[in-house]
Amino acid sequence: MLALGKLLELTLVGREPAAKIQLTPEGARLRWLAEGALEITPPAGLDSGLDLLLSAGIHGNETAPIELLDRLLHGIARGELKPRARILFLFGNPEAMRKGERYVEQDINRLFNGRHEQSSGFEALRACELERLSATFFNQAPADVPRQRLHYDLHTAIRGSKIEQFALYPWREGCRHSALELARLKAAGVAAVLLQSKASITFSAYTYAQLNAEAFTLELGKARAFGQNDGINLEMLEARLKCLIENTEPALEPDNLDGLQLFAVAREIIKHSDSFHLNLPADIENFSELPIGYLLAEDIAGMRWVVEEKGTRIIFPNPKVKNGLRAGILVVPTSAAAL
């Protein structure tokens, strides 16, 4: 196997490879760009036109997606997986991965779309670097064939979920959500999609809004340590990614989204002060339904969040976030007619 296929090993020990470029026997090029960053270029004349950004490890303790990307890279480096797409593999927060922690100083996934410029420290610098690597990758694509840009930012959640595998679809002004991309997610085993309706500061929101990529944050089960992810079944996603890489994807059915649950954001719960209190059990699962009239949270100066919307569910409840950040999202069911 080509040494650059061991990107995860290199990242976990903090080593820079001696050879920065290697070729598979078929002519695909592997190029090391920076720590945790590897670009794949298909052999000459075999480019499908897909520019595929696959990121994981934005949170260092979310290991199942990291292991998935490692398997894909090994397949390419061994010649078992024959790329016809340009691919950028990114391990987002190498230092947090080495420590087995969600982050070192601050959450990288709250530092995109200009937010890193208002901060400092390792994670702010890394968010800036990830933006630069992504922009360069997409913008340097050859122009000899029509291009499609796609970004999957792969995560696992802090807590359990009543819907284990779901996606967040960012918002961009003047742009409609794509039924074709929703059909692709359904085929990859994603059971639900949250259609966002405002700007965000996550990695996928950056690539969607600033780089015109179809971009998604994928939540793929609960965070566990390396080697302990047998309970997370990513077979459908892995198979779909292999098809995208090799340009063998079966036809999609954008007119048939039956079985894919769609949700819209009703409200975000923002923590304003250290007085913030979230009235939920610590072990509550994502997509737990809340009754109308329920006092969800309280904060300084009499601020209260009361559930008003029928069918409301909570996702990402986290009262430990820094002041000014989102401590939870209230979502409600919607339909494909909202696209």
What are the tens digits of pLDDT across the range 97-144? Answer: 999 999 999 999 999 998 898 888 999 999 999 999 999 999 999 988
Contacts of 125 (CB under 8 A, 6+ apart): 116
* Secondary structure element (H or E) that encloses residue 293, with its range: none
Q: Is the pLDDT of residue 335 over 90?
A: no
Same-domain pairing of 87 and 224: yes
Q: What's the pLDDT at 222?
A: 80
Residue 258 within any structural domain of the chain? no
Same-domain pairing of 120 and 193: yes
- How many domains, the chain? 2
Query: What CATH number did the domain enclosing 188 receive?
Result: 3.40.630.10
Residue 9 within any structural domain of the chain? yes
Same-domain pairing of 204 and 327: no
Instruction: Show the domain range for 124.
Output: 3-246
Same-domain pairing of 175 and 237: yes
Residue 155 assigned to a binding site: yes
Last residue of a domain, one of 190, 214, 246: 246
Residue 59 assigned to a binding site: yes
Q: What's the pLDDT at 160?
A: 87
Residue 82 within any structural domain of the chain? yes
Query: What CATH number did the domain enclosing 324 receive?
Result: 2.40.50.630
- By the 8 A CB rule, do 208 and 282 touch? no
Helix (H, G, I), strand (E, B) or coil at 96: helix
- pTM of structure: 0.94
Residue 252 within any structural domain of the chain? no
Residue 256 within any structural domain of the chain? no
Same-domain pairing of 222 and 273: no
Q: Is the pLDDT of residue 81 over 90?
A: yes
**Which residue is catalytic, options 16, 219, 246, 289?**
219
Residue 116 assigned to a binding site: no
- By the 8 A CB rule, do 288 and 162 touch? yes
Last residue of a domain, one of 180, 214, 246: 246
Q: Average per-residue pLDDT in the chain? A: 94
pLDDT digits (tens, 9 = 90+) for 22-67: 999 999 999 999 999 999 999 999 999 999 999 999 999 999 999 9
* Residue 167 bridge partners (DSSP): 193, 218
Residue 255 within any structural domain of the chain? no
Same-domain pairing of 90 and 207: yes
219 part of the active site: yes
Residue 259 within any structural domain of the chain? no
The CA distances from residue 288 to 57, 160, 284, 331, in Å, are 26, 10, 7, 10
Same-domain pairing of 225 and 306: no
pLDDT digits (tens, 9 = 90+) for 306-322: 999 999 999 999 998 98
**What tokens appear for 218 in the block?**
């994928």
Burial 315-324 (b: 16+ CB within 10 A, else e): bbbeeebeee
Q: What's the pLDDT at 18?
A: 93
Q: What's the pLDDT at 119?
A: 84
What is the C-alpha separation between 162 and 318, in angstroms, rounded? 17
Last residue of a domain, one of 214, 246, 278: 246
Same-domain pairing of 235 and 294: no
Give the largest Cα separation in the chain, rounded: 66
